[in-house]
Every structure is written in C-alpha cells, then in structure tokens.
C-alpha cells in the first residue's frame, strides 16, 4: 500500500499534468491530421527517391546528407512498408500502394527467421497491414509462418519468448517483446491453433509478474535461468541505469498490454496498461508538452534529450487505451495523446518538406548508452505517429 503522503504527491502530480493537457477542438485536430498526412506522403515519396531498391530505410545522417538503410533482417524493416500502408489507407493513392507492395515483398523471406523475437514488428507492420487493406492468401501464409517461427523462441520453463540470443545459460527477455504478441493472437484467430494464444498470454503473465517495479515502471531486460525459470538479473541496456525508467520501454509496455487486453478481454491486462499509463501521466519528469526525455530518470533533466519515438508510441497506445476505460480516464488519456500529437506536428519535431532524408519526425533516441542513433529520425517513430493520427481520425474525429 502507498503511504498517505505518496498518494497525495501522486494526485498532485496527476492534476498538474492534466492541467497542462486541456482538450483540443475537433476542428483543430482534423486540420492537424490532414496536414500531417499530406506532408507525410510527400516526405515518403522523397525518401523513396533516395532508397536503393533492395534496401529499407533505418535512419538519416544529416552531417553526411545520407539515408541510413538496412536489409530485411533488421528489426525495423517492417516500419517503412507499414507506414506506407497507413498512408495509402488515408489517401487511397495508387502510387503509395505500389511502393507499399514493393517494399513489403522484400520481407517475405523473414517468415522463416527464428533468430529474432521482432517478427511482430517486422511482419505484422508490413504484411499485417497489407493483409488488412489488400488481403491475399499468400499474405496469410507469410504471417502464419512468421508466427510459427516466433513461437520457436518460447521456453515453457521461463514462461517467455526469448528476446536476445546470448551466452549459454542466459535467457534474455526485454519489455519490447510485448509488442510482438499481436502476431500470435492473430495466428490463433485465423488458424484455430490455440498454442499461439497460450504462448502469448503466458509471456504477458510472466512479464507482469517479473518486469515491473512497485511504482509500475518496468525494467528493460530480465535474464532468466532457462532451466528453472528463476530471474537471475534485472537491468537495462538502452536506459540510463538499471533502476531507471527508459522512456521507450514504458511506451512498449503501455501499448503492448493495451493490445493484449484487446485480444483477450482479460481485465488483468487492462489494469496493467492503466498502471503504466498512470506512471507516465503522473511522472514529475514528464514535460508539459508530453514528449518524454529519453529516460524518465535521465541525467541532466531538464536539458536531457527528448525522444519523439517514445512520444509517438505513447500517443498511439493512449488513444487505444482510452477506448477501454471509464470516461474520466478516457478523456485524460485522449487529451495527453492529442497534446503529444500537436507538439510532434510542430516545427520542433516535424521535418520540413524535402529534408530529413524523407523521414517525418526528428529528435529520436535509439540507444544512447551505446551512442547509436542519438537525436536522429527513426522509422518506428514515423510509423506510430501516423498510426496515432489515423486512430484519432477514425475513432474520435468523425
């Protein structure tokens, strides 16, 4: 139980955040959505002109005016085609669909990739959206095979899907892995094979049990004993410290447990999503504009770097979570999501036309401790930004 003083402090923090995230008019948000989508389509056409035909975008080096690319095996490979599918959903523009189809096809071979937990990102964002918007039997086959490949990384002793391969005896699981469960839920719905569903809920249950602190923030990395399932270590890789709250990790948890509730309707997952949302909303280090520092406990706050990618994921997650809770909480989540989207749409975060290598957003932080992808555009920031705008349009602006 929280002490009375802690409860009072949390309440005051919550009130201060809500006061800074007042409702934004539908008219203003409709205009914002349309402006962003039209700009994004032009940006991605610019990116397409820079992109080698056998590569996928990853980031952009402004000092060299160089688009940073990857092969299909990079964990972010599905975000570019996924964003294109969202832009096509909005615009119905045939040229956007053509590039979505082309870039999606580059990932087909990854359906057999059993060396990564990121198949949900890779295949769900690309082939998942393709199958949703332009279904074909071959897309279904790719997704089912991908789910089968992902399921090979599950270990019954730990109750988890392994995230990263490491030295013998280690079984590393990161909070990001919650984002890959949607692929497994989909596979059960389509195939009738309940094993995928069981793996997904077991992983989610184990994550609730072991990954979270008493304040509802999450560790980034857990190391399990693969033989008996005991937790050997709780730490971070991309956060500021082992006991800090890496911002994108909190975003993955929020989004992942919200999606898990959608697929299961189990209130345990809704409650966990709400706890994570409350940690974010009541955090003393959350700026008034809703764009978090790269870590909620980052050294140097308020001069620490912000992370637009974490902000975009939080906005999209909050928009969905707002559909499942009582109206007072729904309004709070919706208001913060709109505040974030408004700020990301400003010149502070949205790139000028024809710049930024075609990426939509600036100022993301990939892996600061490793000095990798620091204060640069990232494909997943664009993906969840566009997804959040579409969710806002489809769910709240009709």
Tell me the C-alpha distance between 182 and 197, whole Å. Answer: 9
Which pLDDT score is estimated for 9? 39
Which pLDDT score is estimated for 22? 61
Tell me the C-alpha distance between 259 and 319, whole Å. Answer: 11
Question: Closest Cα partner for 382 from 57, 11, 18?
Answer: 57
pTM beyond 0.75: the answer is: yes
Kindly give, in sequence order, each residue whose CB lies less than 8 Å from that of residue 184, ignoring residues fewer than 6 positions away: 120, 147, 150, 151, 196, 197, 199, 200
Structure tokens at 176: 């990001």
Tell me the C-alpha distance between 286 and 90, whole Å. Answer: 31
Radius of gyration of the chain (CA): 20
Which pLDDT score is estimated for 398? 85
Q: 61, 73, 165, 176: which is the annotated catalytic residue?
A: 176
Q: 34, 61, 73, 118: which is the annotated catalytic residue?
A: 118
Identify whether 118 is a catalytic site residue: yes
Which pLDDT score is estimated for 8? 38
Return phi, psi of residue 308, to 5°.
Answer: -65, -30
291-308 residues labelled b (16+ CB within 10 A) or e (exposed): bbbbbbbbeeeeebbbbb
What sign for the dihedral angle of Cα 281, 282, 287, 292?
negative
303 close to 277: Cβ distance less than 8 angstroms: no
CATH numbers and ranges of domains, the chain: 24-53+245-398 (1.50.10.10)
Tell me the C-alpha distance between 57 and 124, whole Å. Answer: 17
131 close to 140: Cβ distance less than 8 angstroms: yes
DSSP SS3 for 175: helix
Structure tokens at 211: 């990954």
Kindly give, in sequence order, each residue whose CB lies less than 8 Å from that of residue 7, ignoring residues fewer than 6 positions away: none
312 close to 363: Cβ distance less than 8 angstroms: no
85 close to 76: Cβ distance less than 8 angstroms: no
Longest dimension (CA), the chain: 60
Which pLDDT score is estimated for 21? 53
DSSP 189: H
Kindly give, in sequence order, each residue whose CB lies less than 8 Å from that of residue 149, ignoring residues fewer than 6 positions away: 111, 112, 113, 114, 119
Return phi, psi of residue 97, to 5°.
Answer: -65, -40
Which pLDDT score is estimated for 23? 73
pLDDT in tens, the chain (398 residues): 334 443 433 444 444 444 445 678 999 999 999 999 999 999 999 999 999 999 999 999 999 999 999 999 999 999 999 999 999 999 999 999 999 999 999 999 999 999 999 999 999 999 999 999 999 999 999 999 999 999 999 999 999 999 999 998 899 999 999 999 999 999 999 999 999 999 999 999 999 999 999 999 999 999 999 999 999 999 999 999 999 999 999 999 999 999 999 999 999 999 999 999 999 999 999 999 999 999 999 999 999 999 999 999 999 999 999 999 999 899 999 999 999 999 999 999 999 999 999 999 999 999 999 999 999 999 999 999 999 999 999 999 98
Tell me the C-alpha distance between 55 and 70, whole Å. Answer: 6
Distance of CA 186 to the CA centre of its chain: 18
Which pLDDT score is estimated for 234? 98
Identify whether 176 is a catalytic site residue: yes
């Amino acid at each position: 139980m929280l002490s009375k003083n802690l409860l009072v402090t949390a309440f005051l923090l919550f009130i201060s955040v809500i006061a800074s995230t007042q409702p934004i008019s539908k008219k203003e948000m409709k205009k914002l959505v349309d402006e962003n989508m039209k700009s994004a389509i032009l940006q991605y056409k610019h990116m397409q002109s820079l992109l080698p035909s056998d590569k996928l975008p990853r980031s952009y080096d402004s000092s060299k005016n160089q688009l940073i690319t990857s092969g299909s095996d990079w964990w972010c490979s599905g975000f570019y085609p996924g964003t294109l599918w969202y832009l096509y959903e909005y615009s119905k523009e045939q040229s956007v669909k053509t590039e979505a189809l082309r870039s999606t096809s580059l990932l087909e071979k990854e359906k057999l990739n059993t060396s990564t937990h990121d198949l949900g990102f890779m295949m769900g964002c690309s082939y998942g959206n393709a199958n949703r918007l332009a279904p074909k039997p071959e897309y279904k086959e790719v997704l089912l095979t991908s789910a089968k490949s992902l399921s090979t990384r599950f270990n019954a002793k730990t109750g988890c899907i392994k995230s990263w391969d490491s030295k013998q005896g280690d079984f590393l699981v990161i909070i990001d892995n919650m984002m890959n469960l949607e692929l497994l839920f989909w596979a059960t719905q389509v195939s009738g094979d309940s094993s995928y569903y069981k793996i997904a809920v077991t992983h989610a249950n184990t994550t609730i049990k072991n990954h979270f602190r008493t304040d509802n923030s999450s560790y980034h990395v857990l190391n399990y004993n693969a033989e008996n399932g005991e937790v050997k270590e709780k730490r971070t890789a991309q956060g500021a410290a082992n006991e800090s709250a890496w911002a994108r990790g909190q975003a993955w948890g929020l989004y992942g447990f919200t999606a898990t509730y959608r697929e299961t309707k189990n209130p345990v997952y809704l409650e966990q999503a709400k706890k994570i949302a409350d940690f974010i909303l009541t955090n003393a280090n959350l700026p008034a504009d809703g764009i978090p520092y790269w870590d909620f406990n980052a050294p140097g706050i308020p001069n620490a770097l912000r992370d637009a990618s974490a902000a975009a994921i939080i906005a999209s997650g909050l928009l969905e979570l707002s559909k499942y809770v009582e109206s007072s909480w729904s309004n709070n989540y919706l208001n913060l999501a709109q505040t974030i989207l408004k700020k990301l749409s400003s010149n502070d975060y949205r790139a000028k036309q024809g710049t930024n290598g075609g990426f939509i957003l600036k100022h993301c932080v990939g892996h600061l401790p490793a000095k990798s992808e620091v204060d640069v555009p990232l494909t997943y920031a664009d993906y969840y930004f566009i997804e959040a705008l579409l969710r806002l349009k489809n769910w709240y602006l009709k």
